Amino acid sequence: MERSYSSVLAEHLEKYRQMIFVAGPRQVGKTTLCTDLTLEYKYFNWDNQDHRALIIDGPGRIGEEIGLNQLQEEPRVVIFDEIHKYSKWKDFLKGFFDVYSARSKIIVTGSSRLDIFKRGGDSLMGRYFLYHLHPLSVREIIGPEFSGNEIQPPLPIDPQAFDSLYTFGGFPEPFLKANLRFSNRWKRLRQQQLFTEEIRDLTRVQEIHQIELLAEMLRNQTGQLTNYTNLANKVRVSVDTIRRWIRILESLYYCFTIQPWSGNVSRSLLKQPKIYLWDWTLIDDSGAKSENFAASHLLKAVHWWTDNGFGEYGLYFLRDKDKREVDFLVTRNQKPWFLVEVKTEQKKSISKDLFHFQKQISAPHAFQAVFSMDYVEANCFSTTVPTIVPLKTLLSQLV
C-alpha cells in the first residue's frame, strides 16, 4: 500500500541536496518505501557480504561501482541500508557526500536509531534530514494524502480497517494479512530477531535473557510510572544498568519513553517517565493497549510535524504530587498545545484533572478521547474547552 511518506521523500529528492535518513523499527517498510521512490537506483545493504566489502573499500570504490565518475544527465539515487552497523559509517557517509553529492541523491535507512549519535557530536550536521518512519496509523489508512497543515480535516475510517489496525498492529505485513495465526508467528519471529540478532550485533550486552525479562516487565506495566529501583531489584542488576538497557531497547524501537511536563505545573512530578511499546499488539490489558495505541499515534504526529519543518514538537504527560494526572500533552515550540486523556469506555463526566491542568498550563485544547465512541463528523480542534471526543475522530486529524 502507498505510504504517506512517499510524497514527502519524493519532494525531498527533487528539491534538496541533503541526504535522506529514514529511521524506524525493523519490518516497518523502510526498504520498500525507499526503493519505490524511483525506478532507477543503486542499492547497498550492509548485511550483504558483497556490498559490505565494497563499502569497507571506501566511498571511491562505491563511486566507481555505480559510475559516479562519469558524465550523466541526472543524479543517481543511492540507497545504503543498515549501514549504521558499520563502525565507521559516519565517516563513510561524510566522505561519500562531500565527493558525490552533486552527482547523486543519497538515502540511508536503518532499524536502529540514526539520531542517537548526536549526543557525541554530529559530524554529519547539515548533510542530512531525518525522517522517522512509523507503523501505519488511522489517518494513513484513510488515505496517504495530507493537506499542508498540521491538523487534517476529520475523515471516517472503515470500521473493519480500524479493528484490524488495533488487533494486528500498524506494521504493514501483519496488518495487510489480518490473520491471527500469521500475526502471532510474525511477532514471535520479530522478537527473536530483536533479542538474538539486533542486541547482539549492535551492543556489547551479554545478558540477553535478563534484557528479555526487562522487556517483558515493561510490556506488563505499559503507561505506568517507571520505577527503576523496582525493576533493578527484580532483574537483579543495578539501576544504572536498567537505565542503560532501556536506552538500548529504545534505540532498537522496542519501546519509547515519555517524560513528565513540569513547566507551569505546581508540585509537578520531575523524574519518573512512562514507557510505551512501538507494537501495541504485545499488550494484553485493554486499557493499557488503548492508551498505548493513542500514544503511538501522537508520537508519530510529533515526529512527522518536526521532521517536515512545522516547528519543534514534544510529547509528555502531566502528573503532580497530589496524583492528579493527564495521559498526554503535545507541545509546539516548547509551549503546551493540546491535552489528551484516553478512556476506553464513554463516560458522561469529564476528568477534573483535564480542567485543572488546562487552566494551569494554558493549553488551547483539551480532549477526553474515548476509544469506544463512534466517529463524529466534527473538528476536534474547533473547541477550546475540555471536550469528550471519539478517539477515531481525533486520530483521523493527525497523520
Whether residues 125 and 208 share a domain: the answer is no
pLDDT at 202: 67
pLDDT at 206: 72
The residues with which 191 forms a beta bridge, in sequence order, are none
User: How many C-beta atoms surround the C-beta of residue 26 within 10 A?
Assistant: 19
pLDDT at 120: 45
Whether residues 76 and 200 share a domain: the answer is no
Tell whether the torsion through CA atoms of 399, 186, 190 and 281 is positive or negative: positive
The HSE-up count of residue 206 (CA atoms within 13 Å, CB side) is 0
Q: Tell me, what amino acid is at 119?
A: R
Q: Which domain holds residue 36?
A: 5-132
Whether residues 244 and 276 share a domain: the answer is yes
State how far the Cα of 52 lies from the Cα of 354, in Å rounded to an integer: 53
State how far the Cα of 85 lies from the Cα of 196, in Å rounded to an integer: 15
Residue 375 CB partners (closer than 8 Å, separation 6+)? 154, 156, 157, 390, 392, 393, 396
DSSP 268: B
Domain membership flag for residue 141: no
Domain membership flag for residue 137: no
State how far the Cα of 47 lies from the Cα of 112, in Å rounded to an integer: 14
Asked whether 337 and 355 are in contact (CB, 8 A), the reply is: no
Whether residues 282 and 152 share a domain: the answer is yes
pLDDT at 13: 96
State how far the Cα of 165 lies from the Cα of 205, in Å rounded to an integer: 34
Whether residues 118 and 224 share a domain: the answer is no
Choose among 277, 295, 281: nearest CA to 165.
281
Residue 195 CB partners (closer than 8 Å, separation 6+)? 208, 211, 212, 215
Whether residues 256 and 373 share a domain: the answer is yes
Helix H or strand E segment including 349: none
Asked whether 317 and 336 are in contact (CB, 8 A), the reply is: no
132, 159, 183 - which closes a domain: 132
102, 132, 162 - which closes a domain: 132
- pTM for the model: 0.95
Whether residues 205 and 302 share a domain: the answer is yes
Whether residues 121 and 154 share a domain: the answer is no
User: How many C-beta atoms surround the C-beta of residue 358 within 10 A?
Assistant: 22
pLDDT (tens place) for every residue of the chain, 399 residues total: 789 999 999 999 999 999 999 999 999 999 999 999 999 999 999 999 999 999 999 999 999 999 999 998 899 999 999 998 898 999 999 999 999 999 999 999 988 766 655 444 567 889 999 999 999 999 999 998 888 899 999 999 999 999 999 999 999 999 999 999 999 999 999 999 888 878 876 676 778 889 999 999 999 999 999 999 999 999 999 999 999 999 999 999 999 999 999 887 766 666 799 999 999 999 999 999 999 999 999 999 999 999 999 999 999 999 998 899 999 999 999 999 999 999 999 988 999 999 999 999 999 999 999 999 999 999 999 999 999 999 999 999 999
pLDDT at 263: 80
Domain membership flag for residue 230: yes
Cα distances (angstroms) measured from residue 237 to each of 218, 228, 252, 272: 15, 10, 21, 19
Domain membership flag for residue 240: yes
Whether residues 44 and 96 share a domain: the answer is yes
CATH of the domain at 81: 3.40.50.300
Tell whether the torsion through CA atoms of 332, 309, 119 and 9 is positive or negative: positive
- Quick check: helix, strand or coil at residue 42? strand
Domain count, the chain: 2
Residue 305 CB partners (closer than 8 Å, separation 6+)? 150, 311, 313, 332, 399
Whether residues 163 and 310 share a domain: the answer is yes
Note the maximum CA span of the chain.
70
Whether residues 185 and 330 share a domain: the answer is yes
Domain membership flag for residue 138: no
Q: Note the helical H segments in the chain.
A: 5-15, 30-35, 49-56, 59-65, 89-100, 138-142, 159-168, 172-177, 180-193, 199-202, 208-220, 228-235, 239-251, 286-307, 352-361, 391-396
99, 132, 165 - which closes a domain: 132
Whether residues 253 and 352 share a domain: the answer is yes
